[in-house]
């Protein structure tokens, strides 16, 4: 139907206006649909390659990525939803896209068939041509769930393919089978597809139809899923006991302390310290590396041959903040080992079933700031890299929650790059007392910020509904796969942004704008924060790399008071996230929200800083 250009045929005599011609794109519209977090975007990325255009759905702030699968087929991703009931912007967008589609690729998760099949059946009842990808087959196997796919295919009446999207298993087959899409089996007693939508808009009818659909789907799930785990074995009993114990607040608290301490040890000391010394110090810069000159000096040598040292282009490409020097040094020397380490850690926690339980335990607290337990994952990731964490806010259910979580991340969470310098400086600022003051202040800002956003933003956040997988010994293969895929995706998204950031700063430096900005900012900082004017340079550096900012303070630490040092550390934490995370923020949340947040973070950083500076001057506890 949509393959042709057809003039609208009218029985009326021609009017003065020219005959309206309905121009439709000559491409088949294929839409990806499914519940949240079933791996849809992995399908999208695998099917479209690089020609992707992400734009807001008309009238909403919801992103709908579109891309071409081939010259005849256009693929569109939709927000993950549990059904088409118009309960949120996400659902309305998904519904419009699905009703408008020529073919639907429905991605369902093998570990939650009962839940996922509701949306599937709803689309079947609407009479949409469809194929189904049953994803996370590996995970189902790990949980001893056997799924009778041929039977499911027969019951639903549409072609079905097992997939493991993280490793791309089965994806090619799905892609090649789009033309096999069929309108499957609607529920026999359902009203016809044409009337169904209108009926479902009415609450009383909706309840009846949904009830019927739920029963039908449950019956299907019962027929095709077999749980082959033997209950009552020692392993299973132990897994259950541990799972239950972790939901005890006291045990959860102790375990959380242990997990955070281990995180600090593994990421903070081993990865951010020892490993980065090796990758950034030795490999990139050639420090203490014997005869190895280091990649950056080698690069500078080559650039020096093309552009004379000290020239504009040399500074931009090969200088201190150069695009080919600093960004390469940072991306591969610092970010890569850090992000890899963090994802290994998080994947282990996730795979063994610990992370979902922490989400449950922290749900009550997070409710107060307009989030639910799911947000614990991005918040923990933020302690690693705020840029990475901002990308992961996609796991949250609504736009509202994503806004709150990204704001909290950008403003109040110190990333691990900063943490190393922070730890060293805290010792100089008065040790334990300084740490306590720092934590109390940041935590207060976090809670205040979350509460204010929760009050200000329209709507309300969604309640937690979370499957708790059984506790188990983590599977190394799973962890390796997940870690690698996540790291590569992250680097692909973030690397260009870091390069852009260093380009900007390098140009500012080459044109001597950097000094000018510092000179203007200096007096303001002295007046507001009671800090020496040179601190301006530290803050500007913090924009490029958060740890640069903190490191700059290190050289000033002995010449300023403890109170001043603490003030500066708080400001640099609250102050804008680094350039890369600001850019990711713009990409994820839109330019308007990004700019508001940027302005907000300046205001909060300097507001809180001014307050802290004066309080510390009044009560000189730190000398």
**Binding region for another protein (CB under 8 A):** 82-83, 85, 87, 114-115, 118-119, 203, 206-207, 210-211, 214-215, 218, 227, 229, 231, 243-244, 247, 249, 356, 359-364, 367, 372-373, 463-468
Quote the least distance from Cβ 252 to another protein, whole Å: 8
Q: 540: part of which helix (H) or strand (E)?
A: helix 535-544
Quote the least distance from Cβ 116 to another protein, whole Å: 10
> How far is Cα 467 from Cα 586, in angstroms, rounded to an integer?
32
Long-range contacts from 281-284, C-beta under 8 angstroms, 24+ separation: 281/333, 283/333, 284/328, 284/329, 284/332, 284/333
Cα torsion angle, 543, 548, 554, 555, sign: negative
β-strand 182-183 against 129-135: which pairing, if any?
antiparallel
Quote the least distance from Cβ 83 to another protein, whole Å: 4
Quote the least distance from Cβ 382 to another protein, whole Å: 22
Q: Which is nearer to another protein, 173 or 236 (CB)?
A: 236
Q: Which is nearer to another protein, 172 or 227 (CB)?
A: 227
Residue 52 main-chain phi, psi, to 5 deg: -115, 140
Let me know: does 69 contact 48? Beta carbons within 8 Å. yes
Q: Which is nearer to another protein, 298 or 465 (CB)?
A: 465
Radius of gyration over alpha carbons of the chain, in Å?
A: 27
Q: Which is nearer to another protein, 142 or 419 (CB)?
A: 142
Quote the least distance from Cβ 393 to another protein, whole Å: 19
Token code pair at residue 227 = 């749980």
Token code pair at residue 7 = 């003039």
Tokens 């990004």 appear where? 594
The number of beta carbons lying within 10 Å of the beta carbon of residue 204 is 8
Closest C-alpha to 463, from 354, 380, 363, 393:
363
Quote the least distance from Cβ 97 to another protein, whole Å: 18
Q: Which is nearer to another protein, 88 or 325 (CB)?
A: 88
- Helix extents (H) in 312-415: 312-318, 326-330, 336-351, 354-367, 376-382, 386-392, 399-412
Quote the least distance from Cβ 493 to another protein, whole Å: 31
Let me know: does 187 contact 213? Beta carbons within 8 Å. yes
Q: Which is nearer to another protein, 212 or 521 (CB)?
A: 212
Closest C-alpha to 347, from 479, 243, 468, 476:
479
Q: Which is nearer to another protein, 257 or 465 (CB)?
A: 465
Token code pair at residue 445 = 């800002």
Q: Which is nearer to another protein, 25 or 229 (CB)?
A: 229
Q: Which is nearer to another protein, 221 or 429 (CB)?
A: 221
Quote the least distance from Cβ 376 to another protein, whole Å: 12
Cα torsion angle, 565, 568, 572, 574, sign: positive
Token code pair at residue 333 = 């020397």
> How far is Cα 163 from Cα 179, in angstroms, rounded to an integer?
18
Q: Which is nearer to another protein, 218 or 559 (CB)?
A: 218
Quote the least distance from Cβ 573 to another protein, whole Å: 28
Quote the least distance from Cβ 383 to another protein, whole Å: 22
Quote the least distance from Cβ 214 to another protein, whole Å: 5
Contacts of 83 (CB under 8 A, 6+ apart): 91, 118, 119, 122, 210
Q: Which is nearer to another protein, 365 or 427 (CB)?
A: 365
Contacts of 172 (CB under 8 A, 6+ apart): none
Beta bridge partners of 132: 106, 160
């Amino acid at each position: 139907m949509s393959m042709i250009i057809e003039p609208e045929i009218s029985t009326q005599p021609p009017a003065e206006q020219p005959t309206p011609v309905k121009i439709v794109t000559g491409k088949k519209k294929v839409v990806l649909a499914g519940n949240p977090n079933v791996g849809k975007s992995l399908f999208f990325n695998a099917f479209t390659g690089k020609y992707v255009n992400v734009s807001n759905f008309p009238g909403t702030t919801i992103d709908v990525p579109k891309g071409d699968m081939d010259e005849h087929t256009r693929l569109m991703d939709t927000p993950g939803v549990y059904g088409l009931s118009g309960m949120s912007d996400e659902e309305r967008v998904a519904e419009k896209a699905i009703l408008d589609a020529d073919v639907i690729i429905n991605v369902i998760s093998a570990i939650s068939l009962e839940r996922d099949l509701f949306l599937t059946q709803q689309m079947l009842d609407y009479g949409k041509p469809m194929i189904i990808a049953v994803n996370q087959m590996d995970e189902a196997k790990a949980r001893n769930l056997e799924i009778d796919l041929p039977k499911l295919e027969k019951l639903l009446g549409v072609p079905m393919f097992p997939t493991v999207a993280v490793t791309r298993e089965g994806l090619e087959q799905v892609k090649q089978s789009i033309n096999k899409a069929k309108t499957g089996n609607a529920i026999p007693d359902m009203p016809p597809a044409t009337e169904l939508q209108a009926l479902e808009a009415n609450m009383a009818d909706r309840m009846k139809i949904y009830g019927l659909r739920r029963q039908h789907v449950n019956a299907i799930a019962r027929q095709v899923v077999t749980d082959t785990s033997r209950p009552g074995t020692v392993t299973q009993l132990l897994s259950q006991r541990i799972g239950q114990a972790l939901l005890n607040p006291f045990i959860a608290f102790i375990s959380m302390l242990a997990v955070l301490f281990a995180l600090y040890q593994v990421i903070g000391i081993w990865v951010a310290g020892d490993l980065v010394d090796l990758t950034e110090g030795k490999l990139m810069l050639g420090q203490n590396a014997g005869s190895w000159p280091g990649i950056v000096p080698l690069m500078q040598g080559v650039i020096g041959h093309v552009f004379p040292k000290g020239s504009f282009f040399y500074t931009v490409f090969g200088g201190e903040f150069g695009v080919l020097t600093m960004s390469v040094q940072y991306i591969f020397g610092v970010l890569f080992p850090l992000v890899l380490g963090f994802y290994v850690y998080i994947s282990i926690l996730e795979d063994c079933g610990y992370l979902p339980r922490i989400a449950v335990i922290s749900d009550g607290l997070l409710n107060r700031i307009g989030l639910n337990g799911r947000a614990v994952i991005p918040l923990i990731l933020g302690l690693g890299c705020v840029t990475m964490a901002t990308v992961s806010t996609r796991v949250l259910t609504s736009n509202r929650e994503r806004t709150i979580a990204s704001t909290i991340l950008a403003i109040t969470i110190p990333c691990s790059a900063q943490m190393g310098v922070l730890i060293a400086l805290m010792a100089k600022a008065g040790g334990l007392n300084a740490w306590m003051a720092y934590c109390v202040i940041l935590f207060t800002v976090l809670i205040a910020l979350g509460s204010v956003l929760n009050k200000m933003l329209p709507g309300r956040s969604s309640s937690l509904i979370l499957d708790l997988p059984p506790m188990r010994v983590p599977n190394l293969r799973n962890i390796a796969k997940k870690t690698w895929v996540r790291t590569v995706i992250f680097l692909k998204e973030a690397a260009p942004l870091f390069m852009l950031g260093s380009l900007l700063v390098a140009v500012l430096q080459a044109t001597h704008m950097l000094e000018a900005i510092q000179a203007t900012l200096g007096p303001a900082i002295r007046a507001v924060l009671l800090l020496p004017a040179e601190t301006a340079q530290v803050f500007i550096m913090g924009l490029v790399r958060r740890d640069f900012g903190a490191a700059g303070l290190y050289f000033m630490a002995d010449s300023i008071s403890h109170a001043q040092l603490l003030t500066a550390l708080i400001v640099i934490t609250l102050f804008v996230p680094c350039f890369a995370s600001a850019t990711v923020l713009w990409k994820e949340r839109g330019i308007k929200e990004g700019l508001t947040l940027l302005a907000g973070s300046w205001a909060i950083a300097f507001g809180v800083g001014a307050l802290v500076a004066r309080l510390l001057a009044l009560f000189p506890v730190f000398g």
